[in-house]
Every structure is written in C-alpha cells, then in structure tokens.
Structure 1
Amino acid sequence: MKTPRKTHGPSRRQVLFTSLAAAALLTGATSTWADSYPTRPVRIIVGFPAGTGPDIVARLLAQKLSEGWGNMGVIVDNKPGAGGLIAASEAARAAPDGYTLMLGETGQLSIAPSSYSKLPYDPQKDFIPVSQVVSSDFVLLVNPQKVPAKNVKEFVSWTQQQKGLFLATFGAGTPGHFGAYMFGDAVKLKPEPVHYKSTGDALGGLFSGDVQGVFASVGLAAPNVKAGKLVALGSTGATRTNALPDVPTIKEQGYTSLEFSSWFGIVAPARTPADIVAKLNADIVRAMQSPDGRSKMEDAGFRVTGTSREAFANIISADTASWGKAVAATGFKAD
C-alpha cells in the first residue's frame, strides 16, 4: 500500500503575495469611496434649537457643502437638550461612514469633561476632529425696559443696588454658564446663573425681567441689538466684533481679565475612514474660504476659521485644559 502523499499549505511567498494583493485592493476601494463621497445625503447633528448660533452655522455650512457636492442634500438635524449632550451622545454612536457628522461646540467637547461627573460619550475617544468652522465672541445683553445701563460699569453699579446678579444661560455646562462666573470675578460680584432650556426661553426671561442679563453669541445678539430690543453692554473678545463695531469689549471698559469666546466645528464618529475625513476637511475649508461662504458667516456675526484637522484637535485639547480650570474654580459638577 502506498503512503498517501502529504499535502502542504501555501508557501510564505504565496501568503505574502496574497496579503499584499488584498491590501492593494482594500486601499484602492477606500480611495474610490473617498473619491465618490458623498453618494447620498449627509446628516449634520446640531445640539441646539433652530435659530440659535450653532443652527445658523450648520445651515450656512450645509448649503455651501451641498453646492460643492453637486447639490447633494445635506440635512441639519436639530437634537436640542442637556446643553448639547443629547446630540453628542447620538453622534458618538453613529455609523463611522461619513454620513453622520456633528457640529460640535466648546461646551460639548471642551467644557463637558470637567463639568459633568458622568458623560455618555468621551470627546477624545468617540470623535475625530475634522475642522473648526467658526469662532464667536459673546455679548452681554440687557433689556433697556428693565435695566437702566448703557455700559458695564453702569450695569455693575445698578446691580449692586439690587438683591442679586441673575444671569441667564442657555444650559448648564455651556460657555455662557461659566462666562457668568468669570464676569462675576472680574466685577467683584457673585452671580446666580439661571439655566434655561433654549435661547428663546432665556431671552424670554430677559424680557420679563426674571434675569438681569445674558451672555449671548454675537450671531444671536446682533439682530436684537440692531432692532433696538436689547442693549449690548460689551463683548467678550480681545477686539470688537465686526457685527457690532460700536460695542466696546469688556476689557476696553477696564475689566482686563475678562476674555472668552466659543467655537463651532465639525467632528465625525471615531473610526471614520481617514481619507473621508481628509476630503471633508478640504471641502469644509474650501467652503469657508469662498467669498460667498465667508461673507455669509461674517454677516451672521461669526469669525471664519476653517482649520486643518490637526489644528482643530489642538484647539479642543487646549480649551479642555483652560476651561477645566475655570470650571474647577466654580466647584460646579453636574451628575
């Protein structure tokens, strides 16, 4: 009886060749995906209601991206609540295919890690920074029917005669929340932040006299100031905002320690293919640097940035550290 001939598995050379071929096919497929992306509508999740600063930025960006993608639909999906945490939680769980993005802001990505004891997402691990889109200063607004002040010093003097300093915020953990504390430190007063669920509710509290002031984004403040409904006492940036050039900064008015701002940028779920992220970054920067895209954002009161992926990641990291110190100074911690 003949002994059956022993069969051998593939040689090392064959295995190596097969692996290289598979890698080449995968690389080619991935490149093709990025070249053709997007082939269906892209969704941008926004953690705040329609008409707010983040919503305005998202819709202007969506319009420019859609035009650049051959009028491929870009859907802005508002998921308001919990200072943007609901939206961030949903975006973190989305499929990492480039078809669900989030317009993230300072509160969700840089402040929340310090202000919440438990977060349903990890800003560093669950998202890939794509590009910062715009930055925005804040404006201290008062209702002229309730507060007889035209500048910060008059406001501080008037407030000292009241029972307390009540400042509206658009939610716990937002820049305006901790900006209220920073303002209190600068003017030597102890503020009482009053948290509202939306900008509409907060402005309603300002009009009714339930609160004395609010730090609102320039984009939200400018229309109300120009219409004469509210008075802008000062802005929080290093320089005056182009949208309200006659409004001095708070630093100009003698409170040199007070300066803070916010930003909005696109992030993608972790594990989104690198070449799709690169294409998104290039398309966003192109959209924001176009004359039309830039002018529309600036007209809405925002400062156009349009950064690289690396620059945006560095901004998030640096602001996480700086806002962390501000949060720690207040002793605030939400569950």
Structure 2
Amino acid sequence: MSFRAEVLRVLIASPSDVNQERNEIEEVIFMWNSRFAEELETILLPGRWEEDVVPTYRGSDPQQIINEQLVNKCDILIGVFWTKLGTPTMTHSSGTLEEVSIFIEKGKEVMLYFVDKAVQRNADFSQLAKVDEFKKEYGYKGIYSAYDRQKIIDHLYKKVMQYKKKRADEQENVPTGNSGHDIVEPLKDLLESGKLTSNEILLLAYTLDTGNRQFGYRWMANQTLPSIQAWEKRNYLGGSDLSDAYNEVVLNLAERGLLEVKETTSYSNVRLYVMPLVIYDQLRTLSDVHKGKLRKVVDEALFPFGLD
C-alpha cells in the first residue's frame, strides 16, 4: 500500500579515507526507511557528492558547486572521520569541514562520528593530528560519537522525531502577513492564484536552488545581491530584472507573510528578512507541478547573460 511521506535529504560528508563507512551509512539509511518510513511518514534520501553533483566547470572553488547543488538542499548531515580532514577549500581546512560549518551556521542537524580502528602504517600522521585537534575543538561545543553503523539507525530515529516536533511547534506559530489575514496563504495556493509577480517567483526559485533563506534589506541588500546576481548569471537569466527590483520584491514577499523580520537597526528599521522554516519547507516540498511553475518563469527569463 502507498503512503504519504515527507522526504528529508541526508548528506553523507567525509574525507576519502572512509569510503567503506560512506557506503555503510547509505545502506543504514535504506534500512531505516524500511523500518520507520511508513510509521513516521518520513523518507530519508541519502546524498553523496560523487552521485548527486552534476559535472560543472566554473574555473574556481569546486566546493561552492557542491554546496549549491547538494549541501544547501540537505536537512541532516552525517559526517565521519578517521585519519584525514580532507582536501582544503578556499575558505576551510577541508571540504567536509566547510559542509559541517554550513549546517551549523544554518541551524541544521549535524551528526558526527569518528572511526576507532587501527591506523594504517603509511598514514599521514600530520593529518591524523589535525583530525584529533578538530575532534577536541568540536567536543567543546557539540556531541560526537564513535562510529557504529547500528547506533546510527537509533540516532536518525531521534533526529527525525526532534525534527517533526520542531515542525509541529512552528506550524502553531505560522507568521502572519501585514494584510490582516490570520494565517498565511499556503505557498501552493499563491502560485495557483496568479498573485505573485515574475520577480517574486524568481526569488522563490533562487531560494529553492540555493537554500538561502536570509535577505538583506536596503543598505544590507549588498550582502544578498551578489549571490542573486551570481545565480542569475549561472542560469543565463539576462532577461531578469530581479536584481534591480530586489528591495521591492523582498518587501512584497514580507507583506504576503512569506518573509519575516530577522534584524532591525537601532531606529527599528528593517535590515534583514528571513523566510521562516515552515514557509521554506512548503517551498521545498512543493509538488513537481508547482515547482514546474517556478521553472517556467525562470525559463521565460532566459537570455544570454550580458548580451546587448
């Protein structure tokens, strides 16, 4: 029998020396689905860069490509370390550490494990020392565990239960818009109503693609605009005027209740909006039909970027 379920993406993050454990974690996730998916109405979808990232050339910072295509779209991170931290990126000691940092900054669930088995004789002990240093530093702020594939199933069960409780609490406090409505109009209904402008839909498409839920406003817009402009360029949206109309679009979405105030100045002027998690989850879980409406607007804005 079929059943309705929410899909949560699980990022498997690790350096190259734990490929066996990466495979085991993926197997564990499928085992978890067999045991708990129907009961909890939740399916866990494993994500691995080598399987889920489309080959792309940008000339610099390949980790950023991985972040955009995979990391930002995931809900839970399972990280595992043994003798290496991994390959350095432009901003972090390794790609895995950058992925962990992104999850921590966005308040997403992180589960870290360290393999406790004999180290190979040809191991790079300078790398091993860095792993121990990171393990110690992380231990001051979070909880990690010795790698045990059986325990991961129980840990995932608890994480999903915590996630569902958090979602239920947020549903009770859905932010209201400035129009006086008691409840924000569901996102799918807004898309069907035709009320949203093309630029508003483009900003929703940007949020869905990048996972960015925070939007600087007025003088803080410069913290968000470069990311939007880069997204427009990557998607060849030369026919888009989203960047030019950015502040107006953000204000429109705020008045519709899709964004709420995150920070204000000392004079109570808004400088940062955020898309509440409950709205972001509506965006992520839109049906293929409704996501197609977003894609259609993006396609309509297609134009060779920078062409006169």
TM-score by length of 1: 0.22
Report the structure, 1 or 2, having the larger helix content. Answer: 2
Higher RCO (C-alpha 8 Å, min separation 6): 1
Report the structure, 1 or 2, having the larger strand content. Answer: 1
Larger radius of gyration: 1
TM-score by length of 2: 0.24
